[in-house]
Amino acid sequence: MRELVAEGKTIVFTTHEPDVAAMIADAVIMVKGGRVLHSGSVAEVMTSANLSEVYETRIEAGEYASRHVFFWD
């Protein structure tokens, strides 16, 4: 996918896995009930508060070895 982006292509994909989105995406849009709740860079959007709101459970976001990690209760 990075090669396509380097060629100027735009990639749009969906996932319910925050770790996958954080690994692949440059920008994230969080949608719930058909409404955009949050959008922006991975660092701006993939926060504990935003993830907990969307998934309706406590999620802790952090970093380990320069990667985004997420922990569910």
* Residue-wise pLDDT tens digits, 10-58: 889 999 999 999 988 989 999 999 999 999 999 999 999 999 999 999 9
Q: What is the full DSSP assignment across the chain?
A: -HHHHHTT-------S-HHHHHHH-SEEEEEETTEEEEEEEHHHHS-HHHHHHHHTS-EEEEEETTEEEEEE-
- What are the φ and ψ backbone dihedral angles of 33, each rounded to 5 degrees? 60, 30
pTM for the predicted model, two decimal places: 0.82
